[in-house]
Amino acid sequence: MEIRVIERVLKVNDELALEVRNRLREAGITAINIISAPGSGKTALIERAIPALRDKLRLGVIEGDPDTTRDAERVAALGAPVTQINTSGGCHLEANLVLRALDALPLDELDLIIIENVGNMVCPVNFDLGEMWRAAVVSVPEGHDKPAKYANLFRKTDLVVLNKTDLLPYVDFDMAVFEADLAQLNPGVELLRTSCRSGDGMAAWTAWLERVCGESPARAPG
C-alpha cells in the first residue's frame, strides 16, 4: 500500500518536472540541480560562480532549505536574481516548488538557473526537478566513503565535485578509494576537485557550467 502511495507521488512529480523542463526550454534556459549533504559547499560554489560568469552567462539561482533565507541573502548580495524555497522541514525539493519558484525569476533575462537542493544525500535523488544536469558535491571532511555509502546519488549525477580540498592535509581521506568507488558506480563521470577557500578548481567549475549551457539544447530530447 505504502509503495503505491510513493509511486503516485513520484508520478505527479515527474509530470510537473516535465512542465518545468518545457518552460525552461521555451525560455532557452539550462538548469542544474546541485545535491549534497548539508555544508559541503553548494552555496559557496554558487558564490564563486556568480562573479566568474558575470560577463559570460546570465545566472539565476533557486535556493532550497528547510528554513531561513540565509543562502538566498548570500546569493543576492552578489547581485544574482534568486528565489528561496523553504520546505518547512521537508528534506528535498519537488518539481511543484520549482515551478512556483520560476514565477519569481526574470526568465527572459537568464541563460542558466542553478537549483541548490536541500542539504541531503538521500531524499532529493529520486525527485526530478526538471533540470537538464545534476551535480553532486561531497567535501573532504565528510570522508572518502561517501560515494559507496550514498551510491544512488553518485550513480545518477553528471558531475561530482569534491570540495574543500584545502582540508586534505588535516583529515584521513583516501583519494584512491574515493576514485575507485566512483569509477565503479558511475564509469567516466566527470570529477572536479575544488576549494572554495583557496580557489583551486574554480576555473574548471565555471568552465563546466559554461560547457553544459552550450550543450543543453542538443541534450534535451523533444
Ligand X SMILES: Nc1nc2c(ncn2[C@@H]2O[C@H](COP(=O)(O)OP(=O)(O)OP(=O)(O)O)[C@@H](O)[C@H]2O)c(=O)[nH]1
Binding partner at 219 among ligand X, Mg ion, none, C-beta below 5 to 8 Å by kind: none
Candidates 11, 100, 149, 197; binder of ligand X (CB under 6 A) is 197
Rounded Cα distance, 92 and 112, in Å: 21
Q: Which three cell numbers stand for residue 154?
A: 553518485
Residues 13-72, interacting with Mg ion (CB under 5 A): 42-43, 71
Residue nearest to ligand X (CB): 119
**Sheet of 159-163: strands edge to edge?**
82-86, 59-65, 112-116, 30-36, 133-139, 159-163, 190-193
| Smallest distance, ligand X to C-beta of residue 48, A | 9
- C-alpha distance from residue 169 to each of 163, 166, 183, 204 (Å): 14, 7, 24, 22
Of 53 and 61, the one with the shorter C-beta distance to ligand X is: 61
The three grid cell numbers given for residue 23, joined into one nine-digit string? 518552460
Site string for ligand X, 63-92 (x = CB under 6 A): --x-----x---------------------
Nearest approach in angstroms of CB 181 to ligand X is 21
Distance (Å, whole) CA 147 – CA 87: 26
Query: Which run of H or of E encompasses 190?
Result: strand 190-193
Please tell me the distance from the alpha carbon of residue 23 to that of residue 30, in angstroms, as a whole number: 11
Task: Write down the least CB distance from residue 147 to ligand X, Å.
Answer: 17
Which of 43, 84, 157, 216 lies at the binding interface for ligand X (CB under 6 A)?
43
The one among 41, 81, 124, 130 contacting ligand X by CB under 6 A: 41
Return the range that interacts with ligand X (CB under 6 A); candidates 90-98, 154-162, 163-171, 176-184: 163-171
Cβ-based neighbour number of residue 87 at 10 Å: 16
* Cβ distance to ligand X smaller for residue 13 or 36: 36
Least distance between Mg ion and beta carbon 139 (Å): 12
Q: Which helix (H) or strand (E) element contains residue 112?
A: strand 112-116
- Of residues 43 and 157, the one with the C-beta less far from Mg ion: 43
Q: How far apart are CA 201 and CA 14, in angstroms?
A: 34
Residue 34 Cα distances to 26, 39, 55, 58, angstroms: 22, 12, 23, 18
Provide the grid cell at 22: 518545457
What, of Mg ion, ligand X, none, does residue 79 touch, CB below 5 to 8 Å by kind? none
Q: Which positions lie near ligand X, rule CB under 6 A?
A: 36, 38-44, 65, 71, 119, 163-164, 166-167, 195-197
Q: Which positions lie near Mg ion, rule CB under 5 A?
A: 42-43, 71
